[in-house]
Structure 1
Amino acid sequence: MFYKMLKPLLLMVALLPGLALASDAGMVAAQAGNEAEVVWQAIQQGAEGRTVSDSEFHAQLINPQDERLLPLRSNILAPGLALALFGMIAVFAAFIAVNGISKLHHGFSGKMVYRWSKADVAIHWLGAIPCLLLILTGLTLLAGRLIIEPYLGQQTFASMAAFAKPVHDYMAIPFMLGWLLMTVKWAKNQIPAKYDIAWFMVVGGYINFGPFKGKHPDAGFANAGEKLWFWTFAAFGALISATGVILLFPEYVEPSRNLSLLSLIIHGAAAIIICAFSIVHIFMATVMSEGGMECMVSGYCDENWAIQHHNVWFDEIKADGTLKYKE
């Protein structure tokens, strides 16, 4: 009987060291958790430490802004760029399927009017080809995990990204040169005019049904839509170029880590705008406007195309004697 009463007491004594150890372990774990939280808060506030690294930002363990801006890159910019490319293509494909293209009402005249110099054509393609490659490689790098990896697999995406990165870097230089030359050389023909408002009111005369059908608004050397594209390209191309230089040559620009991250966000946002407008420009030049592509192939346009789409400019060169035909 005495043993039965003593057994629980002996069992408690035997378990006391274990309970004490468990209690100590819990206290140590709680203390470690508190210390970890304190350390993490200090790191987020920019606390610096010591390291054998000799990089520019070696004393800073993390950039606390990453947690705020990187989700913006992944959750907004990546799908935004994909939507700008594929969304605009889908919109124009549907529009052309319903509306059709803008045909020359009097057909091709066979008379080719001088419009762009060989230098202008070269400058256009100097900016256009790199721009297209930058859009495609930028889309791979920015949104590849969203639109490529789920369908083609991680290994294929990794290979595509490894190829896209150097192409994107090398194409940046000719793009910036083309952007600069186009902006400086073509600005004089892109000044807004009063008749540009009327051009927008009838959507440039490209609608083939309803009250817009058959409308051909006045337009100078550049119509209102082309002017909007030009100034958008000039402004956002400047942002892309400036942020691209920061990202491409950090050892010379010497930005802060916050500036580099902010440049990445601005670069992606500007790319979305340029991408969307580029798709519109490409469709209008190659598909929507019959005879339009010839301008940037030979530098000449058909006389009926000039009269129908740029009547003010055609009347001006005809009046001042600068009208020149291809021999």
Structure 2
Amino acid sequence: MNKLFNMLVMSAMLLVSGFAIANGDAETTQSQAHMWQAIQEGQQGVTTSQSTFHDQLINVNDERLIPARETYLAPGIMLAVFGMIAAFAVFIAVNGISKLHGGFSGKMVYRWSKFDVFIHWLGAIPCLLLILTGIALLAGRFFIQPYLGDGAWSSLVYLSKEIHDVMAIPFIIGWAVMVVLWAKNQMPAKYDLGWILVVGGYINFGPFKGKHPDAGFANAGEKMWFWTFAFVGALVVASGVVLLFPNLIEPSRSLSMLAVVVHGAGAIIIAAFSIIHIFMATVMSEGGMECMVSGYCDENWAKQHHNVWYDEIKADGTLKYKD
């Protein structure tokens, strides 16, 4: 009986509330309208928070930054990763890979120190994990969530966020050391233009077939990747630090949103170049992967892909073979 009475009372209250809302209280409605207008105009309030933007109830800054994620960044990261993979798959199916014309010589030439190899993987492994988790965080809501249940989706996002935050630190260290340590071998040279004009000699048909353009320690393609990694990576790192340590930096809400957009745009560029770099090192160039595994490369690989560098170390007596 008591339950029935409570249900009748609640129903009556809901009916009265609905009637009041339907008819409206002119004074209350006008007051709410004024309050909402004041909030949109940045009206300040009082709170116990100590953040630099604690007195602003909502963000009233440039709202174009929010839809940019759905309109540009989400499809952009998907295209950068899966679009590039598809493009390379088609290219390799049509063109094939770059074979060593003289075959493997069996003589391994010293190219990278053990520290260089370590630094490369210190940056490379976190970079791959950041790209994969970044796909989930940036584009997952639009391309992954519709195909997962709520539980699986929340678990994926949580795990991706944790991995992304942890991997950011070794990536930053690897990025900084690589930029400082390797910049001296990445300076442009006159013969780089010739490398670009024949697409590095990787085309196996038409007028490009059989071309072996000059290249120093790093070829033109590697130099473009390095400087992209250096400068765009700086934007990714800077924006990432803003997002990773909000309590330390205390950014404004506009700066936080801008950091999200810059971070996402930079990640798209880095992701696209990373896919190119991975394919060129592992699939396209026969014998190329060995360089970043042992630090040595086959002598015929050095002659074919980095002839200027090989001639230099042979001439100055620094050519060193693996024992």
**TM-score between the two structures when normalised by the length of structure 2:** 0.90
Partner of 1:303: 299
Measured after TM superposition, the shift of residue 108 of structure 1 is 0.3
2:214 is equivalent to residue 222 of structure 1: no
Task: Tell me how far 1:52 sits from its aligned partner.
Answer: 4.9
- How do 1:205-216 and structure 2 match up within 5 A? 205-216=201-212
**C-alpha deviation, 1:55, in angstroms:** 4.9
The residue type equivalent to 2:265 in the other structure is: A
153-162 or 267-276, larger mean C-alpha shift = 153-162
Unaligned regions of 5+ residues in structure 2, if any?
1-18
Contact 1:243–1:266 under 8 Å retained in 2: yes
1:37 positional shift: 3.8
Instruction: Name the counterpart of 2:322.
Output: 326
Q: What is the aligned length?
A: 305
- Residue 6 of structure 2 corresponds to which residue in structure 1? none
Q: 3-state SS of the aligned residue for 2:297?
A: strand
Aligned with 2:37 (options 29, 36, 41): 41
* Structure 1 range deviating more: 234-243 or 67-76: 67-76
- Once the 2 structures are TM-superposed, how far is the Cα of residue 74 of structure 1 from its aligned partner? 2.0
Alignment of 1:279 with 2:284, yes or no, is no
2:116 corresponding residue in structure 1:
120
Aligned to 1:28: 25
CA RMSD of aligned residues (A): 1.9
Superposed CA offset, 1:182-237 (max 9, x none): 00000000000011011010000000000000001000000000000000000011
Question: Amino acid of the residue matched to residue 262 of structure 2?
Answer: I
Name the CA distance, whole Å, in 2 between partners of 1:38 and 1:128: 54
What one-letter code is carried by the residue in structure 2 that aligns with 1:239?
Answer: L
In structure 2, the residue corresponding to 1:207 is in which secondary structure?
A: coil
> Contact conserved, 2:51 with 2:250, CA < 8 A, in 1?
no
| Residue pairs, 1:150-169, within 5 angstroms | 150-169=146-165
Instruction: Give the superposition deviation at 1:50.
Output: 2.7
Which letter does structure 2 place at the counterpart of 1:57?
F
Deviation track 1:9-32 (CA, whole Å, cap 9, x = no partner) reads: xxxxxxxxxxxxx9x975735x65
Q: Does 1:85 align with 2:81?
A: yes
| Cα distance in 2, alignment partners of residues 245 and 196 from structure 1 | 35
2:260 corresponds to which residue?
264
Larger Rg: 1
Aligned to 1:290: 286
Counterparts of 1:180-195 in structure 2, within 5 Å, are 180-195=176-191
Shift of residue 258 of structure 1?
Answer: 1.1
Corresponding residue number in structure 2 for 1:8: none
Task: Name the counterpart of 1:232.
Answer: 228
Unaligned runs of 5+ in 1: 1-21
Q: Which amino acid aligns with 1:222?
A: A
Is the 2:185–2:218 Cα contact (8 Å) retained in structure 1?
A: yes
Match of 2:104 among 105, 108, 113: 108
Residue by residue over 1:73-132, the C-alpha shift from the partner in whole angstroms, topping out at 9 and shown as x without a partner, is 122111111111110000001100110000001100000000000000000000000000
Amino acid at match of 2:165: D
- Greater Cα offset, 153-162 or 301-310: 153-162
Q: Which residue of 1 aligns with 2:311?
A: 315
Report % sequence identity.
71
Question: What is the deviation of 1:307?
Answer: 0.3
CA distance in 1, matches of 2:107, 2:51: 64
Q: Kindly provide the amino acid, as one letter, of the partner of residue 290 in structure 1.
A: E
CA distance in 2, matches of 1:34, 1:213: 76
Distance in 2 (alpha carbons) for counterparts of 1:170 and 1:68: 30
Does residue 170 in structure 1 map to residue 157 in structure 2? no
Q: Match of 2:196?
A: 200
**2:212 touches 2:305 (CA, 8 Å); kept in 1?**
yes
Shift of 1:59: 1.9
Distance 1:193 1:300 in 2: 24
- 1:70 & 1:101 partners in 2: Cα distance? 42
Contact kept, 8 Å, 2:52 with 2:252, in 1: the verdict is no
SS of aligned partner of 2:89: helix
Per-residue deviation, 1:34: 4.7
Relative to the length of structure 1, the TM-score reads 0.89
Deviations 1:25-65 (A, max 9, x none): 75735x65554443333212211123455555332111113
